[in-house]
Structure 1
Amino acid sequence: MTVLVVGDVIDDIVVRPQRPVTADSDTPSTITACPGGSGANQAAWLGALGADVRFAGRAGAADIAAHTAALAAAGVDARLAADPGAATGRIVVLAEGGRRDMYTDRGANLNLSAADLPDELLDGVRLLHVSGYSLFHPGVRDAVGGLMARARGRGVDVSVDPGSAAFLAATGAEAFRAWARGTCLIFPNLDEGRLLTGLREPSDVATALTADHEVVALKLGADGALVAARDGTRLRLPSAPAEVVDPTGAGDAFCAGFLTAWAAARPLEDCAREGLSAAASAITTVGARPPTNLTPDPRTR
C-alpha cells in the first residue's frame, strides 16, 4: 500500500565552515547545493528504504523537471504543481559543530492549494503523512486540512511531523494541537514536544501527547527516541552510532524509517529501530536526502 506525503520541496544550500566563523569577514567553507524540503526529504527516504511512496508539493515552474527527477531517483512518484510566478523555496543551512541553523524562504510552497491536492492522490493510499510546515500558513493549511479530512473519510490513517520549533512557537501550541489532533501518529522532536505540552521530561511529553494521538515517536537527537502508544507501550531506544558530517535531515530520515516499517505492519520497536538507523545514515552525508548506496530492507517490499 502507498504512503502519500504532502509538504515542502526546497533548494538547499548547505554551508559547512572549515574553521570558526569570522564575523564581518571571510570564513573558508564548503558549500553544497542539493534538493531538500522536509516533506520531500521524508518522501525520498521512504522511497529509498523500499516503501511505495507518492509526494505532492509545489515548486517554481522552471524547477519542476529537476525536482521530479530527483525524487524519482529515490523511488518517489512525485506529483508537483508548477507555480508560474513564485520561485522554488530556498533554505541556507549553516551546519557547524553538530548543529544546523536554517535561513528559510518557502517560496512556491506557500501557494500550495486545494487544486494541487486532488482526490486521486489518495487512490490506493494506506497512510497520509503531513509535514507540519504545511500547517503553519493559513492558505496551505486549509488545502492540506481538506485533504486530511478526505483521507479520514476513506479510512486512510494520517500522521504528522511538526517540523519546526520556531514556526510552532510563533503559531502557538494549542492551535497546532487542534490542527493535528486525531492523527494516528506524531513525530515531534524534544523541543517541539515541550512546546506542544508545556512539559520538560521526555516521558511526560510523550505520555501527554497520547491524549491526541495513538502513537507518539519523540525524536531525542543523540539520545535516540522514545515511543509511547495509547495502549500503554513505552519504548526508549538509543541512537545508532555514526559520525556526524551534516545533521540536516536526520529527523526526516527517522520519520521515514519509522513509517516504512509501520506501513509494512511491523512492531513499534522495529519501527523505531528503522527510524534510528535511517537517521544515523542521514548524518553521515551532506544534505538531507538519502545516499545513493542505501539498500532497502526487503521486509518493506
Structure 2
Amino acid sequence: MSGKVLVVGDVMTDVIVVPEGPIVKGSDRRATVRSRPGGSGANQAVWLGAMGADVVFAARVGHADKAMYENYFRGLGVVPVLAGDREQPSGVLVTIVDPDGERSFLTDRGANLNLSPDDLPSSRLDDIGMVMVSGYSFFAPGPRAAVQALFAAARARGIAVAVDPASVGFLVEVGVAQFLDWTAGADWIFANESEAEALTGAVGYEAQTRALGERFGTVLIKRGRLGAALGGREGVRVLLPAPSVTVLDSTGAGDAFAAGFIAAHLAGDDEATALARGIAAGAKAVQSIGGQPS
C-alpha cells in the first residue's frame, strides 16, 4: 500500500476571536482577534505534513488567492492541487473562543461550495494509499457529488477511504440517514462523541463504536480530554486516555488527532501506537491558538 494520503476538504481563512469575558450584547468587549489559514481539510493536510507524511491536498479557493495558498501549503510539506474559483471568494470562518476553550462558529464557505467532479478526477488517486474527506464536503450538492465520485473511483482501486463528520449542526440539518447513505462504503470514520451520538442515537463510546461499526470498517471516537477509542462492530479494541494539558483553543484538535493517527497508520504502526499518536497530536493542538501547528 502506498504511504501517500489524499486529503479533500475546505480551505478557510480562520478569524479567531478570544473575548476577555462573555460577549455583551449591543456593547463592546475587548478581545484578541487573529486571522490565519484554516479549514478542516487544510488543517488535516498541514498536520500530516508537519508529521512527515506524504500528503496531497485537493480543494477549491478564490481565484485571487490560489497562488498564495499554493505557496503556503508547499511551505508546510503539503502538495496542493487547488482549483481557483472566479465566482466566489475563499471561505471564511469566524471562531469565537469562550473562556473555557469551547468554540462557536460563523461560516461562509465561499469557493468551497463550488468544488466539482472536475476538481477531483480519478487520476488524482494515482499513487494514493488513503483518501481522507472532511464531512463539510458532504453538506452541499456540488462538493458531495465530487467526493462521491472520488469515493467510487477509490473503492474500485482498493484504496481506503476515511471520513470525518466534522459538524453536528450540519449533520442534523442534512439528516443523519442521508449522511450515512452518502458515506456508505467508507473504511474509516473519525467522529467525536457528539457526532457519534447524532449518527447512532447511542450514548457512550462503546455503544457508538458498535453501531458505527455496522457501517464503517474501523471506528475512532474522539473523546476530548478523556482520550479516544478505536474499534468496530465487535466493540472497542483500544481505549487510551489523553494527557492533562491546559486548553487554550480546541480549534483543529480533531483534525490534528486524525492526522496523527493516519500518519502513524500509513507508517506501519499498530492500532494502539497510532491511536496514541493521534491523541498526542490532539493534545498538542489545544495548547495554541488556531487549527494548524504553531
1:164 to 152, 162, 167: 167
3-state SS of the aligned residue for 2:163? strand
Match of 1:80 in 2: 82
Alignment partners' CA distance in 1, 2:87 and 2:140: 18
1:240 aligned onto 2:243 = yes
Q: 1:167-198: per-residue Cα shift (whole Å, max 9, x none)?
A: 00111111111111221110011111001001
Displacement of 1:120 in angstroms is 2.2
1:141 aligned onto 2:144 = yes
Q: 1:40-70: per-residue Cα shift (whole Å, max 9, x none)?
A: 1101111111110000000001111222222
Displacement of 1:71 in angstroms is 1.6
Gap regions ≥5 residues in structure 1: 292-301
Alignment partners' CA distance in 2, 1:128 and 1:31: 34
Counterpart residue type for residue 14 of structure 1: I
Alignment partners' CA distance in 1, 2:236 and 2:15: 40
The aligned runs of 1:248-263 (5 Å cut-off) are 248-263=251-266
Match of 1:25 in 2: 27
Q: 1:69-119: per-residue Cα shift (whole Å, max 9, x none)?
A: 222222100111000110100010001121010100100000000111122
3-state SS of the aligned residue for 2:143? helix
1:175 aligned onto 2:181 = no
1:202 aligned onto 2:212 = no
Gap regions ≥5 residues in structure 2: none
3-state SS of the aligned residue for 1:187? strand
Displacement of 1:233 in angstroms is 5.1
Match of 1:132 in 2: 135
3-state SS of the aligned residue for 1:4? strand
Alignment partners' CA distance in 2, 1:244 and 1:285: 8
Q: What percent of counterpart residues are identical?
A: 44
Alignment partners' CA distance in 1, 2:203 and 2:42: 30
Match of 2:276 in 1: 273
Alignment partners' CA distance in 1, 2:23 and 2:116: 40
Match of 2:71 in 1: 69
Counterpart residue type for residue 232 of structure 2: A
Match of 1:193 in 2: 196
1:218 aligned onto 2:206 = no
Counterpart residue type for residue 60 of structure 1: G
3-state SS of the aligned residue for 2:10? coil
